[in-house]
Amino acid sequence: MHNLLDKVRPHFEKGGRFPKMYRTFEAFETFLFVKGDVTTRGSHIRDAMDMKRTMFHVIIALTPVLLFGMWNVGLQHYRAMGEEVAFIDQFLFGLIRVLPLVVVSYASGLIVEFIFATIRDHEVNEGFLVSGMLIPLIIPVTTPLWMVAVATVFAVIIGKEVFGGTGMNILNPALLARSFLFFAYPAYLSGEENPAGNFVWTQAPADQAVDAFSGATPLAVAATESTIGEASVSQIMESMPSALEMFLGTIPGSVGETSTLLILLGGLILVATGVGSVRIMLSVVAGGLFMGLLFNLFAVNAFMELPVYYHLIMGGFAFGTVYMATDPVSASQTGSGKYIYGFLIGVVTLLIRVVNPAYPEGMMLAILFMNVFAPLIDHYVVEANIKRRMKRLQAVGEKSA
Partner 1 sequence: MSENNNQTQPEALFSARNKKLLTNPLGKDNPINVQVLGICSVLAITVQLRTSLVMAISVVAVMGLANVIISILRKTIPPRIRIIVQLTVIASLVILVDQVLKAFVYDISRQLSVFVGLIITNCIIMGRLEAFALKNKVWPSFLDGIGNAAGYGWVLLTVGFFRELLGSGTLMGHQVIPDFMYEMGYENNGFMILPPMALITVGVIIWVQRHRDRSLVDVS
Residue number, 185 or 213, with CB nearest to partner 1: 185
Helical residues (DSSP H) of 138-277, grouped into ranges: 145-154, 173-184, 186-189, 218-228, 233-239, 243-248, 260-272
150, 315, 368 from 348: Cα distances, Å? 28, 15, 11
Burial of 372 (0-12, 13-18, 19+ CB in 10 A): exposed
One character per residue 21-60, x = contact with partner 1 (rule: CB under 8 A) = ----------------------------------------
Q: Does 186 bind partner 1 (CB under 8 A)?
A: yes
Stretch that binds partner 1, among 28-36, 182-190, 202-210, 221-229 (CB under 8 A): 182-190
Residue number, 312 or 352, with CB nearest to partner 1: 352
Helix H or strand E encompassing 139: none
Interface residues for partner 1 in 192-231 (CB under 8 A)? 195-196
Tell me how far apart the alpha carbons of residues 264 and 248 are, in angstroms, rounded to a whole number.
11
Q: Does 372 bind partner 1 (CB under 8 A)?
A: no
> Which own/partner pairs from 16-23 qualify as long-range (CB within 8 Å, at least 24 positions apart)?
20/118, 21/118, 23/114, 23/117, 23/118, 23/121, 23/122, 23/123, 23/124
One character per residue 113-132, x = contact with partner 1 (rule: CB under 8 A) = --------------------
The CA-based diameter of the chain, rounded to the nearest angstrom, is 86
Residues in the chain: 401
Stretch that binds partner 1, among 33-41, 72-80, 184-192, 384-392 (CB under 8 A): 184-192
Tell me how far apart the alpha carbons of residues 187 and 201 are, in angstroms, rounded to a whole number.
11
Q: Which of 78, 91, 106, 180 binds partner 1 (CB under 8 A)?
A: 180
Residue number, 187 or 244, with CB nearest to partner 1: 187
Q: What's the one-letter identity of residue 342?
A: G
Q: Which of 45, 183, 358, 400 binds partner 1 (CB under 8 A)?
A: 183
Tell me how far apart the alpha carbons of residues 289 and 310 are, in angstroms, rounded to a whole number.
10
Q: Which of 185, 290, 369, 373 binds partner 1 (CB under 8 A)?
A: 185
Q: What's the one-letter identity of residue 87?
A: F
Residue number, 203 or 332, with CB nearest to partner 1: 203
Note whether 143 and 195 are within 8 A (CB): no
One character per residue 132-171, x = contact with partner 1 (rule: CB under 8 A) = ------------x-xx--x-------x---x---------
Stretch that binds partner 1, among 93-101, 176-184, 343-351, 354-362 (CB under 8 A): 176-184
Q: What's the one-letter identity of residue 398?
A: E
Count residues near partner 1 (CB under 8 A).
15
Interface with partner 1 (CB under 8 A): 144, 146-147, 150, 158, 162, 180, 183-188, 195-196
